[in-house]
């Protein structure tokens, strides 16, 4: 479940960032998109670390290692 929560938080933050990019004019939209996207990724990471079991964390790290 921790993987799904991480995914949902990241997707929602990307959607909120895209909304801000369209609504706010000029560089304010770009800056808010970057800030919201970064904040969402950070929150997703923290929530995943708190929810995940050690096996899920190990699996996530192994998947990242094999993808590089």
Residue spans per domain, the chain: 2-67
Contact between 36 and 20 under an 8 Å Cβ cutoff? The reply is yes
Q: How far apart are CA 60 and CA 68, in angstroms?
A: 13
Residue with tokens 């094999």: 66
- Share the mean pLDDT of the chain: 88
Length of the chain: 68
Per-residue pLDDT, averaged over 17-42, amounts to 90
pLDDT digits (tens, 9 = 90+) for 47-67: 988 888 889 889 888 988 988
Q: What is the pTM of this model?
A: 0.69
Contact between 7 and 40 under an 8 Å Cβ cutoff? The reply is no
Q: Is the pLDDT of residue 27 over 90?
A: yes
């Amino acid at each position: 479940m921790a993987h799904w929560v991480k995914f949902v938080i990241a997707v929602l933050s990307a959607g909120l960032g895209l909304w801000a990019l369209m609504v706010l004019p000029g560089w304010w939209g770009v800056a808010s998109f970057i800030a919201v996207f970064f904040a969402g990724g950070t929150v997703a990471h923290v929530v995943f670390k708190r929810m995940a079991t050690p096996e899920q964390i190990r699996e996530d790290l192994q998947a990242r290692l094999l993808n590089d």
